[in-house]
Structure 1
Amino acid sequence: MATSASLGEPSRRDFLFIATGAVGAVGVASVIWPLIDQMNPDASTLAAASTEVDISNIAVGQIVTVKWRGKPIFVRHRTPKEIEAARAVPLDQLRDPATDASRVEKPEWLVVIGICTHLGCVPLGHQGAYDGWFCPCHGSVYDTSGRIRQGPAPYNLVVPIYKFTSATKITIG
């Protein structure tokens, strides 16, 4: 026959068992937490995750190079003539077809990663037959929208993730 103590009322032993388990769980968590926390990226990595560019001092027609994640980023303040020329290119003339509108958030601002898609060189701005970029290493020529037009590069200059945070600031990354 079962006694009333064994059926439903907690005993001192039940309390000690639960308390010991709770203290053990807190102890394990306090040991494991530093091991998990050390896997988070350090402050310098988080700082490199995005960069803010002040575009208020970039003149029309000027290209500014900034660094993001160790890569050069070209920010080009395009002229109306450059925008018109970029929009007028038929897609069937492009090796890596992309409309100008798909590569820019605002027509007057082009933001691209400044690394040639052929072998990773850094192209020179305001160069080449299309007044875009010219890679002197192997002769790749990009237009004012960063699209490959001549040479061995297989793809357009890459457009990074960016957004306009104000009328004068762009956040890249």
Structure 2
Amino acid sequence: MNLPSQLMEMNAFQEGASFVGLCKTFTRPKLALATESWRGGGLGGPIKIATGLQEMEAEHAYGAAIPAITRRFGETRVNGVGLRFALAYENQATGAYDDVQITLRGRHEEIDQGSDELGSQKDWKVKTACTYYRETINGVVELEIDFLARIFLVGGVDRWAELRRITR
């Protein structure tokens, strides 16, 4: 029987510091090819030519302001901040857990401090521009994208390995 897995627990880390009990939501970067339309002679219509990958951006929200994150705002290096999100998904059919680890490098480009209201929870949001993304499921690297090192690994296949070999 197939059933969707349910996110049962998660934690966020920045440079190893745990934000246990604070992270409310995590939105993974959208993964998309950068493409251009091309219609050359002999083609019946336009085709999309892949020219690389589009920029990656992660969003995460917390129930309180986190000074450790604020202190990294304005980081000058494009890969100066390291984040990790540990997620535990429970298979509803078997009860087994999947260990999903998302590792990012980049810099915080936006902090939305939200509003302050008596008796209400804080909704403190951070947007991080990413130069690096790695997704492992139960210890297996499923995706790894490193813009600076030109790595594009999908299911164990490095799609840019030959490109790196030719241009080094």
Q: For this structure pair, what is the TM-score category when the shorter chain's length is used for normalisation?
A: under 0.3
The normalised TM-score by structure 1 is 0.24
Q: Greater Rg, structure 1 or structure 2? A: 1
The normalised TM-score by structure 2 is 0.25
More helix by share: 1
More strand by share: 2
